[in-house]
């Protein structure tokens, strides 16, 4: 809104943080859920001074720490697969084998383009410090200009299976191109360029989040198993070839000078697959590690309650049995909204 990306902090906390019944504890890490029998009764956390504290719940606890953090906290609480927990020295409090399993994520790959000099992009604007300074001033005064744009200006969906059912490929285009820097950021190219990307949005590969034996079972191993299934490899290959077809078709091809960077020389399917395996990266959409359901690997029920326990719910992307076919931010907010509705409806009964 008005050139600024929203967030749950802006949309929810900003208006609620002054409420007398709300206390926000920052710079604190939740360590484990305290169980009293089969009821969740409190949470242990460590603040930035290293002090371990405990808070107790009068009614219930809502765990919303992401598809990585939520299973980690459950596992550190002894809630998970009994054999795995005992192997890392964590006392079992509640056997729930699905905790941390079913991890899946959205993987994407770039195709960078160098455009003809007559077609400038954000590269020229953002690699020129005086021009960037003017753009910052413009944004501060009007919320418009380069810094008022989203990073992705074009987005589309298509079906790699060509079955006409549900899309499984997301295509993005950004009006800039870049190289990653050694410091972890990126550097814009000095020439006009753009970045096309594809993401396979319905991955079949599954990984897991699990504890390691180090430090009493508080170290985490994240194994995403990207491209473990051939369907995911074929989907990424299909999407990459579609990207290449688009940039080499008019009117885009009229502005294209050449492909640029890694992958430009990959022509055969085997070469493209090797490029994908070497350069594809996460979009940071992990999901599924505390999945909803009624099978033996489900972690929460259809009311987001942890199965076999009372007083404990999970509300984040970890409860998704299957990841959404688009970005996970809005669906995760929806999960939180639905959780709130469920709690209020139960208390009003």
Q: CA–CA separation, 129 vs 137, rounded Å?
A: 12
Closest among 189, 194, 178, 191 to 243, alpha carbons compared: 194
**Is 57:42 a contact under the CB 8 Å cutoff?**
yes
Q: Widest CA span of the chain, in angstroms?
A: 70
Q: What is the dihedral of CA 66, 68, 71, 73, to 10 degrees?
A: -80
Active site residue 189: no
**Alpha-carbon gap, residue 157 to 198, rounded angstroms:** 9
- The Cα–Cα gap between 320 and 330 comes to 13
Interatomic CA distance for residues 142 and 134, integer angstroms: 12
Residue carrying the six token digits 């600024």: 4
- Catalytic choice (104, 189, 275, 285): 285
Residue 349: partners with Cβ closer than 8 Å, 6 or more residues away = none
**At 121, phi and psi to the nearest 5?**
-125, -170
Q: Return d(Cα 261, Cα 178) in angstroms, integer.
A: 9
Report phi then psi at 92, rounded to 5.
-75, 130
SS3 label, residue 262: coil
- Helices and strands (H and E) in the chain: how many: 10, 17
**Catalytic center residues:** 285
């Amino acid at each position: 809104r008005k050139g600024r990306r929203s967030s749950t902090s802006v949309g929810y906390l900003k208006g609620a943080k002054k409420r007398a019944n709300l206390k926000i504890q920052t710079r604190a890490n939740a360590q484990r859920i305290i169980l009293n029998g089969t009821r969740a009764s409190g949470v242990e956390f460590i603040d930035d001074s290293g002090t371990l504290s405990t808070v107790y719940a009068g009614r219930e606890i809502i765990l919303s720490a992401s598809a990585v953090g939520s299973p980690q906290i459950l596992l550190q609480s002894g809630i998970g697969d009994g054999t795995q927990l005992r192997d890392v020295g964590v006392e079992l409090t509640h056997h729930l084998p699905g905790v941390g399993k079913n991890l899946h994520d959205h993987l994407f790959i770039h195709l960078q383009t160098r455009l003809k000099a007559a077609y400038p992009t954000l590269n020229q604007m953002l690699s020129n410090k005086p021009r960037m300074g003017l753009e910052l001033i413009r944004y501060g005064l009007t919320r418009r200009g380069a810094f008022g744009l989203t990073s992705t200006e074009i987005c589309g969906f298509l079906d790699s299976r060509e079955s006409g059912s549900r899309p499984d490929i997301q295509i993005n285009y950004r009006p800039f191109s870049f190289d990653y820097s050694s410091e972890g950021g990126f550097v814009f190219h000095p020439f006009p360029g753009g970045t096309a990307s594809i993401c396979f949005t319905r991955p079949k590969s599954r990984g897991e989040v699990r504890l390691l034996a180090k430090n009493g079972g508080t170290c985490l191993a994240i194994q995403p198993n990207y491209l473990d299934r051939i369907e995911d490899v074929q989907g990424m290959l299909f999407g990459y070839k579609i990207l290449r077809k688009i940039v080499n078709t008019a009117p885009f091809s009229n502005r294209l000078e050449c492909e640029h960077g890694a992958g430009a020389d990959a022509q055969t399917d085997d070469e493209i697959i090797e490029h994908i395996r070497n350069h594809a990266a996460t979009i940071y959409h992990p999901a599924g590690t505390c999945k909803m359901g009624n099978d033996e690997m489900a972690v929460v029920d259809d009311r987001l309650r942890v199965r076999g326990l009372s007083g404990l719910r999970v509300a984040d992307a970890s409860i998704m049995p299957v990841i959404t076919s688009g970005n996970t931010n809005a669906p995760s907010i929806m999960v939180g909204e639905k959780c709130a509705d469920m709690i209020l409806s139960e208390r009003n009964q």
